[in-house]
Chains A and B, each alone.
Chain A
Amino acid sequence: MTKRVLIVSNSFDLHADLVTPYLNDYHAEPFRIDLDCFPRDYQIVQLFWHGKLISNITHLPSGQCLNLDEVGAIWLRKPADYAFISNDLAPQELAYAKLETEHALFGLLYPLDCYWMSHPIQLRGAMWKAEQLHRATKFGFNVPRSLVTNCAQQVRVFKQQVPGEIIFKPLSSSSLAADAVAESERIAEGIPTTIIDDAMMNNLEAVNELPCHFQEYVDKQYELRVTVIAGETFAAKIHSQDDVRTAVDSRDISANIIYEATQLPADIAQRCREFVSSYGLNFSALDLIVTPQDEYVFLENNPNGQFLYVEQLIPEFQLVKAVAATLAAEAQCRS
Chain B
Amino acid sequence: MKKQNEKKLFAFKLAEKNQAAKTDTQWKARDGVAVAGCTGPVRNFRYSDSGMYC
Contacts and interface: CB of A to CB of B under 8 A. Distances in A.
Contact of A185 (B3, B7, B9, B33): B3
Contacts of A203: 10, 13-14
Interface residues of A, number: 62
B29 A178 contact: no
B10 A210 contact: yes
Contacts of B32: 312
B11 to A, nearest CB: 6
A187 B50 CA distance: 17
A10 B48 CA distance: 11
Nearest to A128: B51
Contacts of B7: 187-188, 206
A207 B10 contact: yes
A209 interface: yes
Contacts of B10: 168, 203-204, 206-207, 209-210, 212
A175 B42 contact: yes
A179 B35 CA distance: 16
Contacts of B25: 188-192
B49 A304 contact: yes
Nearest to B43: A189
A19 to B, nearest CB: 13
Contacts of A251: 27, 35-37
B24 A252 contact: yes
A21 interface: no
A204 B13 CA distance: 10
Contact of B41 (A77, A190, A309): A190
Contacts of A80: 47
A252 B27 contact: yes
Interface in B6-42: 7-19, 24-30, 32-42
A127 B17 contact: no
Contacts of B11: 168, 170, 176, 188, 191, 210, 212
Contacts of B40: 306
A131 to B, nearest CB: 13
Contacts of A309: 33-36
A146 B47 CA distance: 29
B35 A306 contact: yes
Given A78-B49, A172-B51, A302-B54, A189 B42 contact: yes
Given A203-B10, A210-B10, A252-B27, A14 B17 contact: no
Given A14-B34, A168-B11, A179 B42 contact: yes
A69 to B, nearest CB: 25
A250 interface: yes
Contact of B51 (A127, A212, A245, A308): A127
Contacts of A81: 47
Given A191-B11, A304-B49, A309-B34, 11 more contacts: A36-B47, A175-B39, A175-B48, A178-B42, A188-B11, A190-B15, A212-B10, A252-B28, A254-B27, A254-B29, A313-B33
Interface of B: 1, 3-4, 7-19, 24-30, 32-43, 45-54
Q: Which 6 A-B pairs have the closest CB atoms?
A: A254-B28, A172-B51, A206-B10, A304-B53, A188-B15, A309-B34
18 contacts: A10-B47, A123-B53, A175-B41, A176-B12, A179-B42, A179-B45, A179-B46, A188-B11, A188-B19, A190-B25, A194-B14, A200-B13, A206-B7, A251-B35, A252-B28, A253-B28, A253-B35, A254-B29
